[in-house]
A and B are shown apart, each in its own frame.
Chain A
């Protein structure tokens, strides 16, 4: 069943399931447990839950200490705090010693729309992409996020940043869909142009592909849920088999998915890459769709960029 919900709800559900299966997992909260949907976990597994209060630096350091004992700590906070307030703790105490620390953050991108610019984490994936040993992922919807949580905890070793939305995002995947960290999912096949998207804007990429189809343009759509390590095979295939690439992300246009794809493409023969993303400016309070429009993160823009590549 396809589910349209905020992906932070998938986090809350996944940790409840994982709590049953994974004995050495901890949730380390920093006073946003209600919002992060960790309260049911806390009630069910009080011995596996820690809340350090409004102290993100301690939150990260405590998680790293837990990881040295062979535990799998999951830091639970918002993207702005999880990628900035505690970034140096994560760098020094998780990434540098390559410990199995997971950082789970809601309020990624523009989805905490009404909270305004202070709470919209638009730089987070770019920040973590530049730190050695770090893996960076974001699911497109509820079902994929739930599955990626399972993958991250059960089949991934080392520091990993996973990002969620505060607000509901359209469902795309069936609950049985399979995911592997570092391997893109091909949602549509096509050999005219490739649309590569990450996270909550996946539906936009699919809608754009549908519109292009009506014009006779076959667009390949890739769900690049892991922006680091990038699925280079998938990008290489897009480079060779289609006329160009449009990237779409709810993240600053610098150093996110579009940059990762461009870096690879430039060094492997090159093709046209057009990026759709936040236009290097802060957001404000307002409806999510209005904020996206302000940044030209729209189906029309994706279609127009794709069309310009093909024609």
Chain B
């Protein structure tokens, strides 16, 4: 890696640490939420918002922006942490997640939160909406691109594969699908609940250009974006092996932390650990 590249990666890693702290703060204050999947998605989210996507926090509805659809809508805190860090939201809104009247709903709401391009929360649907966006942008000769993030458990939804078929048929090379492959779903390990086999090969078979990476190695995330950016004629898919609860020792790979908030004590430990960038 060149020096410049090293600097970019280092800065993104620092952003991710900042975002993890915001994720934990949000969920702790809310008393409910999904820390596990939020923390597994944070590194990719940092790279999306601070490296890859063309957006303008001052003008969230700018027509020529790139779009992002959080198909795994329950990890809204990961998205909000990016929107907070990027300046779409006021810093103290970090304390308003899931509160009555808040702009930060339990799941992303395009009507309430600036920077949210479509409301999500019901799994399997976001990728279809992202496909529609990419198709509409392509038909109007726009240069804008669409990114969407899926959970691996979410890939159990048949609608995901309907959408990928459409993206392939219409050669949507302006669509990039990120799969947060952390191996856990709500009820337990995926290999016990619903094994999905080789997810990367499934996306290949459906016509995507697939890259497989470690979703917590920032240099791999950035390389993956660089690698797929200019590929033409098909949708791109980055399958990122991740660790649910990444950065907090007692949350890592523990299914229980899918949808539980840390208590005060756990919160203090968790904040310390993510600050140190535990790996």
Contacts and interface: CB of A to CB of B under 8 A. Distances in A.
Contacts of A55: 162, 165-166
A171 B103 CA distance: 50
Interface in A74-100: 88-89, 92-93, 96-98
A287 interface: no
Given A68-B118, A93-B125, A93-B129, A58 B162 contact: yes
A61 B159 contact: yes
A159 B165 CA distance: 25
B198 interface: no
| Category for how many chain B residues contact A | 20 to 34
B23 interface: no
Nearest to B159: A57
Contacts of A177: none
B10 interface: no
Contacts of A26: 136
Given A92-B119, A97-B110, A97-B111, A68 B162 contact: no
B158 interface: yes
B136 A92 contact: no
Contact of B136 (A53, A58, A66, A97): A66
A62 interface: yes
Chain A interface mostly helix, strand, loop or mixed? helix
Given A57-B158, A68-B118, A97-B119, A62 B163 contact: yes
Nearest to B139: A47
A69 interface: yes
B201 interface: no
Interface string A254-276: 00000000000000000000000
A57 B129 CA distance: 10
Nearest to A101: B132
B130 interface: yes
Interface in B50-87: 67, 69
Of listed A50, A64, A92, residue having the most chain B CB within 10 A: A92
Contacts of B137: 69
A64 B166 contact: no
Contacts of A116: none
Contacts of B140: 69
B121 interface: yes
Contacts of A57: 124-125, 128, 158-159, 162
Contacts of A209: none
A88 B158 CA distance: 13
A118 B128 CA distance: 27
Given A96-B119, A97-B118, A97-B119, A62 B111 contact: no
B255 interface: no
B166 A65 contact: no
Nearest to A63: B132
Nearest to A56: B162
| Residue of A65, A89, A93 contacting most chain B CB atoms (<10 Å) | A65
A62 B159 contact: no
B210 interface: no
B136 A69 contact: yes
B219 to A, nearest CB: 32
A275 to B, nearest CB: 34
- The interface centre, meaning the residue of B67, B121, B132, B136 with most chain A CB atoms within 10 A of its CB, is B132
Nearest to A89: B125
A98 B111 contact: yes
A52 interface: yes
A35 interface: no
A194 B130 CA distance: 48
Interface in B84-110: 109-110
A89 B119 contact: no
Contact of A58 (B67, B117, B131): B131
A69 B163 contact: no
A66 B110 contact: no
Interface in A1-59: 26, 47, 50, 52-53, 55, 57-58
B237 interface: no
B133 interface: yes
Interface of A: 26, 47, 50, 52-53, 55, 57-58, 60-69, 71, 73, 88-89, 92-93, 96-98
Given A26-B136, A66-B135, A93-B125, 17 more contacts: A53-B166, A53-B169, A57-B158, A58-B159, A62-B129, A64-B128, A64-B129, A66-B133, A66-B136, A67-B132, A73-B132, A88-B125, A92-B120, A92-B121, A93-B128, A96-B109, A97-B111
Q: 5 shortest A-B CB distances, which residue pairs? A: A65-B132, A61-B128, A58-B162, A62-B132, A55-B162
11 contacts: A47-B139, A53-B169, A57-B159, A58-B163, A62-B135, A64-B118, A66-B132, A92-B120, A93-B128, A96-B119, A97-B110
